[in-house]
Amino acid sequence: MARHIPGPLFFDLHGTSGLPMLFLHSTPDDHRLWMYQTAHFSAWYRTVAVDLAGYGRSPAAQKGVSVGDQADAAWEVVDRISSGPCIIHGNSMGSMIAMQMAHRQPDRVPALILSGTGYLPTRDAMKVWAKRYAEEGLDLRYKQCLDHFSPPMQTMPHVQYYARMICELNNASTLDSIIAMNVALSSEAEPDSFFDELKMPTIIISGTADRNHEAARALHHHIKGSTFKEIADAGHAVMQEAPWDYDRFCIEFMAKHGLWTGEPPK
């Protein structure tokens, strides 16, 4: 059992065969951030969308939880499905956890697909979010879910519906869990050698309206041999704002590395 996580994580499994494909969400979202991708890619893969500890239906994240603890818990999920390889998608917090997973068991990760992330030698933004949650309470979760979208998209009814839907699973431990994870995310940044050791095929997909866009480009230069793709005008949640582009980039990338079993990309 992973440290600071009192129980197994909830996950949503789709597809009956094929290589497992794991999806790790950002904070303060849950596994439904990936609703388009699990619906789409389950035709070829076993898609596994996880509620990380403290989010959705998973147990609370205890004080002192680390990104590494979440990575250990996510590997426990994969192990319940397969002892073999697994493609890993991560967005923002999920990307940091995905990279930690790849460090722990590199031979089991044929590909990393990262978004909403970047090379962040300082973590001031996470400290600000931790402070704001402590001061403003759980009402901030709805606002932060919207903040992951570009300003024009934040006014769209289906985006506001998505944010409300995520908040409907708030419980007595949600606030403390979100604060604990922002504290974990704001801890000391990884050394450059951390990125040098990520040798598996990696793609970074970034929205040009994401506050991390330039940091994502910098991360591309730190992960040698990685692929960088951008989606015009999309925000932090690129897989929600433009799933057709996100999925297309993924398919092209997986086809290049012999991991795509569907029709050749056009």
d(CA 189, CA 10): 28
Determine the topology of domain 11-256 in CATH.
Rossmann fold (3.40.50)
Segment 106-125 shows an average pLDDT of 96
Supply the mean pLDDT for the chain.
Answer: 97
Q: Per 3-state DSSP, what percentage of the chain is helix, strand, and coil (rounded to 5)?
A: 45, 15, 40
Residue that wins the pLDDT comparison between 115 and 265: 115
Residue 93, pLDDT score: 98
Segment 121-143 shows an average pLDDT of 96
The DSSP bridge partners found for residue 91 are 115
Residue 188, pLDDT score: 79
The amino acid at residue 44 is: W
Chain-centroid distance of CA 61 in Å reads: 17
Residue 3, pLDDT score: 94
Q: What would the 3-class secondary structure string for 101-161 be?
A: HHHHCHHHCCCEEEECCCCCCCCHHHHHHHHHHHHHCCCHHHHHHHHCCCHHHHCCHHHHH
| Nearest C-alpha neighbor of 108 from the set 88, 84, 89 | 84
pLDDT in tens, 9-42: 999 999 989 999 999 999 999 999 999 999 999 9
- The predicted model scores a pTM of 0.98
Chain-centroid distance of CA 124 in Å reads: 19
Confidence of residue 170 (pLDDT cuts 50, 70, 90): very high
Instruction: Decide: 46 and 4 in contact? Cβ < 8 Å.
Output: no
The pair of three-digit structure tokens given for residue 40, joined into one six-digit string: 């789409």
d(CA 217, CA 204): 8
Minimum mean pLDDT range among 103-107, 111-115, 119-123, 216-220: 119-123
- Cβ atoms within 10 Å of 166's Cβ, excluding its own: 21
- With pLDDT > 70 as the criterion, what percentage of the chain qualifies? 100
Beta strands in the chain (DSSP E): 11-14, 20-24, 46-50, 87-91, 112-115, 202-207, 227-231
Segment 189-212 shows an average pLDDT of 96
Residue 265, pLDDT score: 86
Residue 14, pLDDT score: 97
pLDDT in tens, 238-261: 999 999 999 999 999 999 999 999
d(CA 263, CA 266): 9
